């Protein structure tokens, strides 16, 4: 069971960053909230540029494994947040799931590290807002 489920196509970038930041900030605030992440077509590994950008925040994603989104994950989540599925609903049909909020973020794959940092920092800001709305 998760409080928040972050979803993107490959579960190798945006959703992994969101999960890691959410769990780090929630723990730092002493909140008993937990996030998971998944993808509709998972990659083999988290993108190297994402691993690098997150390491700058002290978050190690090198051993994270992208996982396939399941109906059970959606049913057990209190909130579902997609990371750009509104832009490409054909590649990410998760946008049609229950009460989905889409953050409309660009995919970091193949982006220079400066762009990945911008995406990461946008995610951090949105996670802060989300935690605030959840009472933390």
Compute the distance between CA of residue 15 and CA of residue 11 in angstroms, rounded to an integer.
6
Question: Residue 4 has which token pair?
Answer: 């928040």
**Its pTM surpasses 0.85:** yes
Task: Supply the pLDDT for residue 84.
Answer: 78
Which of 18-22, 82-86, 116-120 is least confident?
A: 82-86
Q: Is the dihedral of CA 104, 106, 107, 113 positive or negative?
A: negative
- Residue 95 reports pLDDT greater than 50: no
Residue 39 forms beta bridges with which residues? 8, 68
Say how many Å lie between the first and final Cα of the chain, rounded: 19
116-133: pLDDT as tens digits: 999 999 999 999 999 999
Range 56-81 average pLDDT: 93
Q: Identify the residue with better confidence: 57 or 87.
A: 57
Count of alpha carbons within 13 angstroms of residue 73, beta-carbon side = 18
Q: How far apart are CA 112 and CA 69, in angstroms?
A: 27
């Amino acid at each position: 069971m998760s409080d928040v489920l972050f979803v993107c196509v490959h579960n190798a970038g945006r959703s992994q960053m969101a999960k890691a930041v959410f769990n780090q900030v929630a723990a730092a605030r002493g909140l008993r909230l937990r996030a998971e992440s998944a993808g509709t077509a998972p990659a083999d590994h988290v993108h190297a540029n994402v691993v690098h950008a997150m390491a700058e925040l002290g978050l190690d994603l090198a051993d994270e494994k992208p996982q396939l989104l399941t109906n059970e994950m959606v049913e057990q989540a209190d909130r579902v947040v997609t990371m750009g599925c509104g832009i490409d609903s054909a590649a990410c049909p998760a946008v049609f799931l229950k009460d989905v909020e889409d953050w409309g973020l660009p995919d970091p794959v193949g982006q220079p590290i400066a762009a990945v940092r911008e995406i990461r920092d946008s995610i951090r800001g949105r996670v802060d807002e989300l935690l605030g709305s959840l009472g933390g």
